Amino acid sequence: MLAFLSLNFRPDHPPEYKGGTLSTFDLANDAEDAPAKTAQKQATVTKQPPRPIPPMPTPPIPKPAIRLPDRPLPMLIVSKEVYAASDIAKLGKPATDSGAEVASSGSSPGDSARVGTGPHGEPLYAAEWYREPTNQELSTYLPRTMPEGGGWGVIACKTIDRFHVADCVELGQGPAGSHLASAARQAAWQFLVRPPRVGGKVLVGEWVRIRIDYHVSSADAPSE
């Protein structure tokens, strides 16, 4: 037994070639991953839109040449004064009168007559009734002592919308001290007066002169 155990069964020289390590391959996984990788590559590729074709430039249309007549045109050459006098807008109006002069003179047909100056230097025109005041409207503001022969009162009022007047001031009365101008001024809020007209235009806001004549009747009822 001792002799058997002392025997050396290993070779003196190891084998020169060593076998490689064993590697395993999963063919099923590679086959499944191949289409997915291909689809991923295709998804990353984006198609570029086609570039628009620029329109063809339109060639400019040549303008026709304008040929002037050889001989001069049949024109009548006039002076500046003659040309200004031919303006039809000025027909029927004096060439030397301005609009302000015509308005102040009241010379146009239908214009209100100017009878003086207002409280602050404005033109004062004669009043034209839209509706005459009644005896009842005037009698409310009569003075306590009425002159036996009656009397008159003159006021100046500024015309406003809807034929009314405002800002009336006393201009005169007769007889003196009769207070008839004050009576007319107090009753003026009821007056209906047409605004003055100048040059065919209605001038609302201008001043008019209003005269009220009082007559004593048998029943002591004043009337205009």
pLDDT tens for 51-106 read 778 787 887 888 777 776 666 656 656 566 656 655 655 544 443 333 444 444 44
In the chain, where are the structural domains located? 116-214
Say which residue, 59 or 121, is predicted with more confidence. Answer: 121
* Domain 116-214 of CATH type 1.10.3470: no
Distance from C-alpha of 38 to C-alpha of 112, rounded to nearest angstrom = 104
Classify strands 123-126 and 207-214 as parallel, antiparallel or unpaired: parallel
Higher pLDDT: 222 or 97? It is 222
Burial (CB count within 10 angstroms: exposed 0-12, middle 13-18, buried 19+), residue 108: middle
Q: For residue 130, how many other CB atoms are within 10 A of its CB?
A: 13
**Does the pLDDT value for residue 206 go beyond 60?**
yes
Query: Residue 16: is its pLDDT beyond 70?
Result: no
pTM above threshold 0.85: no
pLDDT at 66: 75
CA distance readout (Å), 65 to 71, 121, 140, 213: 18, 66, 87, 83
Answer whether residue 193 shows pLDDT above 70.
yes
- Give the closest residue to 191 by CA, choosing from 170, 223, 166, 221: 166
126 or 221, greater pLDDT: 126
pLDDT of residue 81: 60
Write down the mean pLDDT value for the chain.
Answer: 76
- Which of 188, 207, 212 has the alpha carbon at shortest distance from 112? 207
**Structure-model confidence comparison of residues 36 and 120, the more confident one:** 120
15 preceded by a cis bond (ω within 30 of 0): no
pLDDT above 90 as % of the chain:
42
CB 204 within 8 A of CB 161: yes
> What pLDDT score does 183 carry?
96
Burial 155-165 (b: 16+ CB within 10 A, else e): bbbbbeeeebb
Residue 114: band (very low, low, confident or very high) from pLDDT cuts 50, 70, 90: very high
Taking the C-alpha atoms of residue 163 and residue 142, their distance in angstroms, rounded to an integer, is 24
